[in-house]
Structure 1
Amino acid sequence: MRAARKPTDWKTDAMQRRITRRYAAERRFKLMGLGAVLISVAFLAFLLITMLGNGARGFTQTEIRLPVDFPRAAMILDPAALKGPHAEVALATADIEGATTAAAVAAFGPAGADYISDSAWLKVRDAIRDDPSVLARKVEIDVPAATAIDLAAKGKGEPPAEAIYKRLNVEGRVSTGFNATFLTSADSTDPTRVGIWGALKGSLLTMFVTLLLAFPVGVLAAIYLEEYAPRNRWTDLIEVSINNLAAVPSIIFGLLGLAVFLNFMHLPRSAALVGGTTLALMTMPVIVIAGRNAIKSVPPSIRDAALGIGASPVQVVFHHVLPLALPGILTGTIIGMARALGETAPLLMIGMRAFIATPPGGIADPATVLPVQIFLWSDEVSRGFVEKTSAAIIVLLVFLLTMNGLAIYLRNKFEQRW
């Protein structure tokens, strides 16, 4: 008689079919995972290419070489007044804007004033301030082109503006170069004069306040809850509350900041102090949760060894446990700060959407942040703000990557192995 086959006989036809189906399912799962990764990479590449394509033009500016005949300009300005203590007053009272408009009409015809931006007279003012002797002669000054001509120079203009640009280009009157103003100035109503330095400085000050408040309080709270707090219903309630706070929508923290910091404490509206404090409330639960998990991951043998050689409980925590948990704590801080850096809703609630034409000088001065600035520019009607919005997004991504890179470096620096 033929011997009965064992259930574990891998050579039977049924078992071979089962193994074949199992391998096929594994191959399908791998292909699904690979497909998900490729789709994610494709979306990321599309985002980066789109942002870089639109944003790269935001870092350039088209200028028109404008001839200005100062002796014939209807502008009352004494060169000697520019050398005294009242030079700025003299510049402010002179009709430089009118002289610039008249020069554009004289050079390019009745529609010449539409060829230059509304802020072109500022370049003329700067030229007079740098060299008062120009008031005695006719000079050519490179001034920002109007938005329509600037877009035409970048291949995004309308047919009439493209025709004007081609004519000026043939005459050698236009040039396109790096826009340093975008990195050094603040907000403006003219897209040719806007810059991100005011918003970037506001973000730096806001993140400084957030880190200064959230990091020490979050780490100390994590140490207390994990090392010293008794295990009872009140501790459980605190833990549940912290976990729930980490998932609360950010706009709720904005309402809290509006009610407490502005309406009750009467702190300055639209200041980095209020914005940073509000974001610190939002970031703190994330740091507490990450800190507790990092402290919990330290092996108990580290604590036992430290206690065995005579260390006090406080020395055990701060000399042994905390240094080993610091990389995990910094990881949680990275996540919390990155979330805070990109927040817009809570800052809108506390009034940080104001038009800020001057970079803040301190944490109590009116300020805005990069995400809010991007939001405001995206709502502008002028097409010139489109590329500025993309350029500001690039700056925000670089800021975020720089902050994360610094945090990763610090995490690796303090990481210890056992």
Structure 2
Amino acid sequence: MNNITTEPTSFNLPTGIATVPTAVPTPGPSKARGTQARTMDIVNKGLARRYRSERRFKRLGLSAILLSLAFLGVLFISIFANGYTAFKQTFIQLEVFLDPLKIDKEDLGAANYMGLVKKSLTADFPQIKSRADKRKLYGLVSTGAAFDLQDFVQKNRHEIGNTIQIWVPADDDVDMLMKGHISRDVPEIERRMNDTQIGWVDDLLGQSRIKQEFNTRFFTGGDSREPELAGIWGATCGSLYTLLVTLCLSFPIGIATAVYLEEFAPTNRWTDVVEVNINNLAAVPSIVFGLLGLALFLNFFGLPRSAPLVGGLVLTLMTLPTIIIASRASLKSVPPSIREAALGIGASKTQMVAHHVLPLAMPGMLTGTIIGMAQALGETAPLLMIGMVAFIVDIPTGFTDPATVLPVQIFLWADSPERAFLEKTSAAIMVLLCFLVAMNGLAVVLRKKFERRW
């Protein structure tokens, strides 16, 4: 039962009439304890439910991370499994007689070096008489064997008239056979090499005249129709020239734009429109910039097609929004007290920005620039629109020479039917990934080294 307390209540009554006490109920201690217990039960039940939800959310997040890492691992493993064999190349040893009647010391380039290679193969297999079999025999070595022999003769003129032993690159089919990509167990009609050719390869293996070495040509040569002669150096030089143009244009323009918008531009409708357009340009598909470059730089200004200069201009337009946004974020991270202190000791606004704000924001700006360059390195679509998809054999030596870039080179090789180009494609992807990882790692190092926390 609840306790009853009485409190006097006064009314304006006539004199001589007593006041009447009124009863006010108050909860007893047992009821208060019961209410508190029920409240704690509700709270505890809610806490348990929230803890379960939190643990479930953590498990889902961890599962998502593990799943993404698994997919990434499968991707890397598949690329490595298809491409690591491209870093080795098969060579065949030939005994070639440098006939002085066919090699003129005064004009070494006019000699028929491929004829000397064929004569050497015929001497190794004298039992082959038919022209069809001879064509198949000559197909064991690459067409680049003639160029390697020519290079040897030009460096060793004194060997003319002697019989030399020289290692020349094997044909891509022989290379695939040695690497296990052509199975001997399948029917002859289902493989690129017949039993006779495989027998010739086995004869050369028995004489220790076939070997595999590190494929330096892959890193030093340009593109080729023959897979065993194709290399990435031409595309790498094209990428370097293109990125150099992009960096020289996008970095100063992006930094200057960010500084003006963040430090000097008045807040009005015009600057709002500019900021909105910069943010929107960062989300525009890259092929749109390629169409702009095609219409503006090629058709209007008449710049050369498939040149690193035009590719750099197109990628500059594409990376500028990223650099501007990252640079503005870096400028905003500088505390206002730095600006106030600089202005308080008499510095002008330009001096305040140049001597105090910009040095503190530069690490973040460099990080954004490197990320933008990494994005430009992996772009293909805008460069396809300006003609950098052309078949380029020569190594570019300038900004206006015809060139291609690594992503486009990968695209071209992936479209080729030969099995040897599949491993070249995967190997080029591995090289491109190494460049991207290195650039992103450099961005992390710069941020960690120069970053200041306020």
Name the TM-score, length of structure 2 as normaliser.
0.85
Aligned twin of 1:197: 233
Q: Which residue, 330, 333, 337 being the options, matches 1:297? A: 333
User: Contact (CA 8 Å) 1:214, 1:284: kept in 2 or not?
Assistant: yes
Matched, 1:153 2:178: yes
Cα displacement string for residues 344-376 of structure 1 (whole angstroms, at most 9, x for unaligned residues): 010010011111111111111111110001101
Aligned twin of 1:134: 159
Partner secondary structure for residue 220 of structure 1? helix
Matched, 1:375 2:392: no
Q: 2: CA distance between counterparts of 1:155 and 1:7?
A: 78
Q: Which residue, 254, 260, 269 being the options, matches 1:233? A: 269
Matched, 1:113 2:138: yes
More displaced 10-residue stretch of structure 1: 258-267 or 43-52? 43-52
Aligned twin of 1:183: 219
Q: 2: CA distance between counterparts of 1:370 and 1:140?
A: 36
Counterpart amino acid of 1:66?
Answer: L
User: Contact (CA 8 Å) 2:104, 2:111: kept in 1 or not?
Assistant: no
Counterpart amino acid of 1:410?
Answer: L
Distance 1:28 1:162, change over 3 A: farther
Counterpart amino acid of 1:261?
Answer: F
Distance 1:178 1:249, change over 3 A: same
Matched, 1:77 2:79: no
Q: Which residue, 117, 139, 151 being the options, matches 1:100? A: 117
Matched, 1:212 2:248: yes
Segments of 5+ residues of structure 1 without an aligned counterpart are 82-89
Aligned twin of 1:32: 60
Q: 2: CA distance between counterparts of 1:405 and 1:22?
A: 39
Cα displacement string for residues 232-271 of structure 1 (whole angstroms, at most 9, x for unaligned residues): 1111111111111111110010011111111111111111
Partner secondary structure for residue 403 of structure 2? coil
Partner secondary structure for residue 365 of structure 2? helix
Aligned twin of 1:84: none
Distance 1:353 1:302, change over 3 A: same
Matched, 1:363 2:399: yes
Distance 1:42 1:363, change over 3 A: same
Asked which structure has the greater CA Rg, the reply is 2
Q: How does 1:56-75 map to 2 (within 5 A)?
A: 56-71=84-99
Alignment: residue pair count:
406
Q: 2: CA distance between counterparts of 1:264 and 1:61?
A: 46
Aligned twin of 1:87: none
Distance 1:228 1:188, change over 3 A: same
Counterpart amino acid of 1:250?
Answer: S
Partner secondary structure for residue 236 of structure 1? helix
Aligned twin of 1:264: 300
Q: Which residue, 357, 360, 364 being the options, matches 1:321? A: 357
Cα displacement string for residues 384-412 of structure 1 (whole angstroms, at most 9, x for unaligned residues): 11111111111111122222333333344
Aligned twin of 1:50: 78
Q: 2: CA distance between counterparts of 1:256 and 1:34?
A: 43
More displaced 10-residue stretch of structure 1: 104-113 or 290-299? 104-113
Aligned twin of 1:253: 289
Partner secondary structure for residue 65 of structure 1? strand
Counterpart amino acid of 2:308?
Answer: A
User: Contact (CA 8 Å) 2:141, 2:170: kept in 1 or not?
Assistant: yes
Matched, 1:143 2:197: no
Q: 2: CA distance between counterparts of 1:70 and 1:60?
A: 29
What percent of counterpart residues are identical? 53
Segments of 5+ residues of structure 2 without an aligned counterpart are 2-29, 129-133, 185-193
Aligned twin of 2:429: 393
Q: CA deviation at 1:11?
A: 5.0
Q: CA deviation at 1:101?
A: 2.1
Q: 1: CA distance between counterparts of 2:36 and 2:68?
A: 44
Counterpart amino acid of 1:199?
Answer: A
User: Contact (CA 8 Å) 1:153, 1:165: kept in 2 or not?
Assistant: no
Counterpart amino acid of 2:103?
Answer: L
User: Contact (CA 8 Å) 1:298, 1:324: kept in 2 or not?
Assistant: yes
Q: 1: CA distance between counterparts of 2:36 and 2:402?
A: 78
Q: 2: CA distance between counterparts of 1:93 and 1:286?
A: 54
Distance 1:307 1:244, change over 3 A: same
Partner secondary structure for residue 192 of structure 1? helix
Q: 2: CA distance between counterparts of 1:319 and 1:8?
A: 64
Q: 1: CA distance between counterparts of 2:60 and 2:96?
A: 66
User: Contact (CA 8 Å) 1:77, 1:94: kept in 2 or not?
Assistant: yes
Q: CA deviation at 1:92?
A: 2.6
Matched, 1:347 2:375: no
Distance 1:380 1:228, change over 3 A: same
Q: 1: CA distance between counterparts of 2:410 and 2:297?
A: 25
Name the TM-score, length of structure 1 as normaliser.
0.92
Q: 1: CA distance between counterparts of 2:407 and 2:301?
A: 26
Distance 1:18 1:413, change over 3 A: closer
Q: 1: CA distance between counterparts of 2:278 and 2:338?
A: 27
Q: CA deviation at 1:285?
A: 0.7
Counterpart amino acid of 2:158?
Answer: S
More displaced 10-residue stretch of structure 1: 351-360 or 104-113? 104-113
Q: CA deviation at 1:104?
A: 1.9
More displaced 10-residue stretch of structure 1: 125-134 or 266-275? 125-134
Counterpart amino acid of 2:146?
Answer: W
Q: Which residue, 304, 315, 327 being the options, matches 1:279? A: 315
**Greater relative contact order (Cα < 8 A, sep 6+):** 1
Q: 1: CA distance between counterparts of 2:344 and 2:43?
A: 58
Aligned twin of 1:85: none
More displaced 10-residue stretch of structure 1: 18-27 or 336-345? 18-27
User: Contact (CA 8 Å) 2:323, 2:369: kept in 1 or not?
Assistant: yes
Q: 2: CA distance between counterparts of 1:174 and 1:30?
A: 57
Partner secondary structure for residue 155 of structure 1? coil
Distance 1:56 1:10, change over 3 A: farther
User: Contact (CA 8 Å) 1:100, 1:121: kept in 2 or not?
Assistant: yes
